[in-house]
Structure 1
Amino acid sequence: MSNSLEKLSIWATNPPKDCPLELSSSFGGLGFTGKHVTYTDADTWYPSWADDDHMYSPWTDGYIEGQYCFSFDNHLDLGNVAETGHAKIMGNDPMNLTIENLGKSIAPPSPYKGRYPCGSLVYNHIWYYGTYCLGPSNQVLFEGEYYNWPWLGPFVGFRVSTDFGLTWTESPHTPENPLFGENGLQGQAIKIGAPHFVDFGKNMENSPDGYAYMVAHGAMENDANPRYANLSWITGDQIYLIRVQPAIENMNDASKYEFFAGHDKDGNPIWTKDFKQIRPIIDWNNRCGCVTVTYNAPLKKYFMCVTDGWPTTKTMDSYILEADSLTGPWRMVSFMEKFGVQAYFLNFPSKFISEDGQSMWLCYSGNFTTDQEINPPGGKYAMSLQEVKLL
């Protein structure tokens, strides 16, 4: 593969005028090499690189090897239930992977309508698999049309597997009694609705302190303005950061978590066990949707992927940020208007970062309700992978 910039497809970076983030001084954007591949006919892929050298991921709303899985109970005639799948990803070459379906779990979303995968981590042979809830879809009216904006419900908790997904112990928490006690039944503000683990590499080998960190999109309380539109599965106002020592006895115990609460006068991060003191690491109204973070060890940089479905899920904007620390400051690498044109659930699997850190593979799904031209070519409703280079 040539390193010539002329052979890269460069995504222009044009952040909106209200962007509160500075442009990166280290990177000038992303270049797409044209190498791409898709696997399966399902979405919600968040690979975790385990100590057996395989990756493990949730999946849902589609099918693998003939098995269907749907997380929104409107698709089913089985009562108020939701399905979430889990799979094993084998191989070292992104262009030649084998996906093995490991089955699915069924759990009630009630009193919500959907229950979807989110934070997923395999650490020391143990798989922690989180789910979150969504309210009904197509109840948000925008410019005379209803959109796929089911409002964001709470993060429920973790089911746990000690045999790489062959068997599971369900979380002691339920949608009515979620881990952090948040309530989204009437569109109230949620802060930790759909958290995702920071990808620290194989078996979390690059965690700076042994903690597992999670990022999540959410919103602050605003009684005068229900958050149906700008707090959904793909839209929000803030990004939050939490951490926990990963162990079976800790993951479903809220008292074991610490929440980022801002910086002290010397610029050092403040951590608290008081959820009421939580503060965002990024605050950008209507622009903070589904979020993931990966540590690029060769470059000693964190890269954040954010998808923003506002004002319509017909197209979506995504952007890539970089930082030297999880608590920021975060800087804009590339703002990709209408990426996909309808791409979401972006992440950089750490297993596919090059030795020099300059090349990564962007994992995402997309184009679930649009017939517009796919951009960049190759992405679809699947586990889509695109090779990118940092400029």
Structure 2
Amino acid sequence: MVSAFKAFIWDSSPPDGIPFEPSESLRRLEFTGRHATYTNADTWYPSWAADGHMYSPWTDGSIDGAFCHSYDGGEPSPNSPAHTGQARIEGDNPLELKVINLGKTASDASPYKGRYPCGSLVYNGIWYYGTYCLGPSNTHDYENITYNWPWLGSFVGFRTSHDFGMTWVDSPHTPASPLFGENGLKGQPVRIGSPHFVDFGCNMEHSPDGKAYLVAHGSDLKFYPTRFANNSWITGDQIYLLRVTPSLETMNDPGFYEFFAGHDSTGAPIWTNDFMLIQPILEWQNNMGCVTVTYNAPLRKFIMCVTDGGITCGKMNSYILEADTLTGPWKLITYMKNFGEQAYFLNLPSKFISDDGLTLWLCYAGNFAVGWNGQDIQTNPPGGRYAMSLQEIRLLG
């Protein structure tokens, strides 16, 4: 569905104590009014492949009548395992895209109850498709509040495809034996639960060193526990950064990964192969969550989208940051209170960045739980819904 509304500038309203300085060059975000939605599913993270198409995971909904759900019993059979879907996105105009369903893959979630898509990368003809786990259930009651998947579980690893999603080879890892060995089965803090690839353009053309970089929201013991669901699919306290040279031999081997571990005395970033030495690139207690980053080549800047999902199924706050390097410093472009009003999984597909870098298309899903806990969730900006929602935006000085 394609339509438009009158352009407006989002009223940035950051809360007291925000730890980011304002950007000097990008200070406001305008919604032009042009927007479109596709499918009836969420979890869209497009990766721009060398063949010109974008490829993305999807789940918990349908494409042209074909359904996929990423939790145990979500399929027609009550005993069915979790599934994760894949799709090809054709077209160069965000208002005239064609989304092709490429089917779904069974993904055992045990000992968790949910196993969802996260980081997805198509590079040199190979699709690396990451999944992560959630618990204890998709609806969980605690102190008179119903939550959605309040515990972030482990990042399992990557399944791979050599034919753009037609056939797959499973990851050698399982939820019980994940890539980085973390365990959130009882609500313990997890640091690399749901990583997403930094979008470096078509076939990673703008990677500075041939490496794939990933960002992930999480938490650690210094914040445990501060509130229920403080480290969930959409909430966290910190953002982490890791990198790897992508290949079939490296992506599922933790020994090939490097983790950001702070800065040295000169301010240069420290990288380590020791997961236990990992340090966050950003930290804001009870105000972080799902994160994505896109490299804006015309501006030579990284643009980060973060969503703080609150109670996981109410109104959600999102904000957009910019930096010259992935390790920061990161500065605030805009803080969007109640964006969506329940928008999540924000990202900026590099394929749709204008030549001057100032016009982009914000991709997200929204409003999956409009009546939970008696909340009245509206749609803002107009046009967003539970779908692959695209909004044209302008970065203003």
Structures share fold, TM-score greater than 0.5:
yes
Q: CA deviation at 1:66?
A: 1.4
- Say which SS state the counterpart of residue 276 (structure 1) adopts: helix
The 10-residue stretch of structure 1 (280-289 or 215-224) with the greater mean CA deviation from structure 2: 215-224
1:296 alignment partner AA: N
2:138 alignment partner AA: S
Measure, in 1, the Cα distance between the counterparts of 2:128 and 2:227.
29
Which runs of structure 2 are paired with 1:122-271 in the superposition (5 Å)? 122-135=122-135, 136-141=137-142, 144-222=144-222, 225=225, 228-271=228-271
- Say which SS state the counterpart of residue 295 (structure 1) adopts: strand
The residue aligned with 2:373 is none
Which runs of structure 2 are paired with 1:1-391 in the superposition (5 Å)? 8-76=7-75, 77-79=77-79, 81-135=81-135, 136-141=137-142, 144-222=144-222, 225=225, 228-311=228-311, 313-370=313-370, 372-391=377-396
* TM-score when normalising by structure 1: 0.96
Aligned 8 A contact 2:74 2:80 in 1 = no
Aligned 8 A contact 2:290 2:306 in 1 = yes
Q: CA deviation at 1:241?
A: 0.2
Aligned 8 A contact 2:232 2:312 in 1 = no
1:122 alignment partner AA: V
- Say which SS state the counterpart of residue 75 (structure 1) adopts: coil
Aligned 8 A contact 2:43 2:57 in 1 = yes
Measure, in 2, the Cα distance between the counterparts of 1:357 and 1:332.
17
Measure, in 2, the Cα distance between the counterparts of 1:199 and 1:39.
21
The 10-residue stretch of structure 1 (365-374 or 73-82) with the greater mean CA deviation from structure 2: 73-82
The 10-residue stretch of structure 1 (153-162 or 214-223) with the greater mean CA deviation from structure 2: 214-223
Q: CA deviation at 1:372?
A: 2.8
- Say which SS state the counterpart of residue 203 (structure 1) adopts: helix
Cα RMSD for the two superposed structures = 1.4
Aligned 8 A contact 1:74 1:113 in 2 = no
Q: CA deviation at 1:150?
A: 2.8
* Change in CA separation of 1:223 and 1:28 when aligned onto 2, cut-off 3 Å: closer
The residue aligned with 1:3 is none
* TM-score when normalising by structure 2: 0.94
* Change in CA separation of 1:42 and 1:224 when aligned onto 2, cut-off 3 Å: closer
Q: CA deviation at 1:310?
A: 1.3
Q: CA deviation at 1:222?
A: 4.7
Measure, in 1, the Cα distance between the counterparts of 2:80 and 2:229.
24
Q: CA deviation at 1:78?
A: 4.3
The 10-residue stretch of structure 1 (364-373 or 122-131) with the greater mean CA deviation from structure 2: 364-373
1:263 alignment partner AA: H
Measure, in 1, the Cα distance between the counterparts of 2:120 and 2:366.
20
Q: CA deviation at 1:247?
A: 0.3
User: Which runs of no fewer than 5 residues in structure 2 stay unpaired?
Assistant: 1-5, 371-375
Q: CA deviation at 1:146?
A: 1.9
- Say which SS state the counterpart of residue 250 (structure 2) adopts: helix
Measure, in 2, the Cα distance between the counterparts of 1:380 and 1:171.
32
2:106 alignment partner AA: I
1:234 alignment partner AA: I
